[in-house]
Amino acid sequence: MSICKVCLFLFFFPFLSFAQLAKSYTPLPIQDTIPAITYTSLSKRLDVDKSQVAEPQKKVNNYIKYLYEERFKYVVSNFNDDYIITEGELTSYLQQILTNIYKSNPQLSQETMVYAFRSSIPNAFSFGDGNLAVTLGLLSRLKNDSQVAFILCHEMAHYHRKHGDKQIQALAKLNYDKELQKKLEHNNTYSYKKELIKSLELSITKHSRTYEFEADSIGLTYFLNTNYDRNAPVECMDILSKSDKGLDQNIIDFKKYFDFPDYPIKPSWLTYEKSTTWHKSEKDGEFGDSDTTHTHPNCMRRQAALKRQLQGKGAVTITSANDLFQSIVTQSTFEQITSHYHFKKYGKALFGSLLLLERYPENAYLHAMVSKCIYQLYTHQKNHEIGKVLEQPDSRFDDNYDQFLTFFQQLRLTEIASLGYFYSAGRRQIDASNEDFWHAYWLCSQLPVSKILPSKVKAEYAATFPKGKYLTNMP
Ligand SMILES: [Zn+2]
């Protein structure tokens, strides 16, 4: 039986080999809108949820329905804003593991779907309406199928125990709590409503502490019904507890990448002192968004609880990471770069590309990404908007990221332009058979220091790729 599953697996998932990635990478498609079939099934689900609301107070009833509608809109916006990956190997892989867990747990009806989610913050969530998600950042940190399975069991437990619905109900009751209303009488209704919606979002991304322990404990009972490795739950907590540190701590060798015969690197660029300031507030950006920073102190307590529950549960099976799993991890790592670029976090995309080039030094996709990001830094610097796409150094960042930010933040406009142009021109002889290279080279040929006209680059690209996918974007 299990052998059959493995065969099916390999048949459906053409995994990425090191040999392929040595040369290039083809990113997953990014959908612009929610697939119609998904929208329809979510709407149906919303109707069912609303029809089952049965609180004694009518206004509480209506308010719960209203919050379900808001939840529905929130989930749809996550599809429409390209965070949820609906197609491709990552999502199919997660879905396959989810199905395996349900097969081992016939007491549960298979009401959930799982998706890979475009975020680098290691996290997973249950939206409460049957949709589960695992971020690319978490996927790239896990070590085997069993760990993925435990993460999914935890999220399934949130769903099947209706933690999200319970939080919505509590929120609605709170909203009509007479005591609370008195206190809020002087509050502006609009901002109060906004606060409530915010707490709804929070209830999706950050379940309360009690629910976390319950999801671990119930999730573990689902997990123990499967054949996955029993070391995984405890290992997952170790991984989560370390998740505010970057996975790759290597210091980038700027001289290796940005020292050109016609444009030598300036030694002054390479001086670095660890930042002493805090530029980022706890509220905005990833410090604030990160679930893990808040759950950290909890991870070790959750691990202890899991260990207690696992005592005397029989032999541990050992699974080692297989080729498919390695391919999933690698794809998650590449897709984080693609996502950062798509969401205009050019600093992060550039940083990730430079780190990954250490492992795949001849990957044309990564080299093109470096050129494109520098081009974007140039245009944003020119419009005095670099702060939107490249963070300021911050003493709380990992050393390698802080050093990277220091390097790029000190450059003048013409220096950024020069790095972009010389970098992409330097790949001309090597990457000419790659379309991403041509797109990057065409962008960088528009930089003021360029020695080649964009029209000439376009003509050369068209000659090599008469049906090139970027041609339509080149006016
Ligand atoms: Zn949870």
How confident is the prediction along the chain (475 residues), in pLDDT tens digits per residue? 222 223 233 334 456 677 788 899 999 999 889 999 999 999 999 999 999 998 888 888 999 999 899 999 999 999 999 999 999 999 999 999 999 999 999 999 999 999 999 999 999 989 999 999 999 999 999 999 999 999 999 999 999 999 988 888 887 877 777 666 666 555 556 566 666 656 655 555 555 677 889 999 999 999 999 999 999 999 999 999 988 899 999 999 999 999 999 999 999 999 998 878 777 654 443 333 334 444 445 788 899 999 999 988 866 666 666 888 999 999 999 999 999 999 999 999 999 999 999 999 999 999 999 999 999 999 999 999 999 999 999 999 999 999 999 999 999 999 999 999 999 999 999 999 999 999 999 999 999 999 999 999 999 999 999 999 999 989 9
CA of 154 to the centre of ligand 1 (A): 6
Q: What is the DSSP letter of 268?
A: G
CA of 86 to the centre of ligand 1 (A): 22
The answer to whether 41 and 113 have CB atoms below 8 angstroms apart is: no
Q: How far apart are CA 152 and CA 156, in angstroms?
A: 6
Do 50 and 24 belong to one domain?
Answer: yes
Q: How far apart are CA 457 and CA 439, in angstroms?
A: 9
CA of 159 to the centre of ligand 1 (A): 10
Flag whether 313 is in a domain.
no
Flag whether 326 is in a domain.
no
Q: How far apart are CA 294 and CA 424, in angstroms?
A: 41
Do 101 and 196 belong to one domain?
Answer: yes
CA of 41 to the centre of ligand 1 (A): 24
Who's near 473: CB < 8 A, 6+ residues apart? 439
At 467 the three-state DSSP class reads: coil
CA of 114 to the centre of ligand 1 (A): 15
Flag whether 38 is in a domain.
yes
CA of 145 to the centre of ligand 1 (A): 19
CA of 155 to the centre of ligand 1 (A): 6
Q: Please give the structure tokens belonging to residue 422.
A: 């010389």
CA of 131 to the centre of ligand 1 (A): 14
Q: Please give the structure tokens belonging to residue 372.
A: 């494109």
CA of 243 to the centre of ligand 1 (A): 15
CA of 379 to the centre of ligand 1 (A): 41
CA of 123 to the centre of ligand 1 (A): 9
Do 178 and 294 belong to one domain?
Answer: yes
CA of 157 to the centre of ligand 1 (A): 9
Do 223 and 261 belong to one domain?
Answer: no
The answer to whether 24 and 434 have CB atoms below 8 angstroms apart is: yes
Flag whether 79 is in a domain.
yes
Domain span at residue 236? 2-244+290-299
The answer to whether 309 and 213 have CB atoms below 8 angstroms apart is: no
Do 235 and 86 belong to one domain?
Answer: yes
Exposure string of 156-192, with b = 16+ CB inside 10 Å and e = fewer, is bbbbbbebbbebbbebbeebeeeeeeeeeeeeeeeee
User: How far is residue 395 from each of residues 296, 352, 370, 387, 401, measured CA to CA in Å?
Assistant: 20, 19, 25, 17, 10
Work out the angle at residue 468's Cα, subtended by the Cα atoms of residues 116 and 20, and round it to the nearest 5 degrees.
Answer: 50
Do 110 and 183 belong to one domain?
Answer: yes
- The total domain count for the chain is 2
CA of 156 to the centre of ligand 1 (A): 9
Flag whether 99 is in a domain.
yes
Residue 80: Cβ-neighbour burial (10 angstroms; 0-12, 13-18, 19+): middle
CA of 176 to the centre of ligand 1 (A): 27
Flag whether 12 is in a domain.
yes
Do 268 and 200 belong to one domain?
Answer: no
Flag whether 337 is in a domain.
no
Do 218 and 263 belong to one domain?
Answer: no
Q: How far apart are CA 367 and CA 432, in angstroms?
A: 12
Q: Residue ranges of the alpha helices (H) in 161-290?
A: 163-175, 178-184, 189-205, 209-224, 232-241, 254-258, 285-289
Q: What are phi and psi of 133, to 5 degrees?
A: -145, 145
Residue with tokens 């509608």: 69
Do 266 and 175 belong to one domain?
Answer: no
CA of 202 to the centre of ligand 1 (A): 12
Residue with tokens 């199928």: 145
Full DSSP string of 17-35: PHHHHHH---PPP--SS--
Flag whether 349 is in a domain.
yes
For residue 88, which of 21, 148, 133, 26 has the smallest C-alpha distance?
26
Do 233 and 275 belong to one domain?
Answer: no
Do 153 and 258 belong to one domain?
Answer: no
- How, if at all, do strands 131-135 and 113-117 pair? parallel
CA of 236 to the centre of ligand 1 (A): 12
Q: In what order do the strands lie in the sheet with 131-135?
A: 84-85, 113-117, 131-135, 124-126
Do 131 and 107 belong to one domain?
Answer: yes
CA of 205 to the centre of ligand 1 (A): 8
CA of 152 to the centre of ligand 1 (A): 10
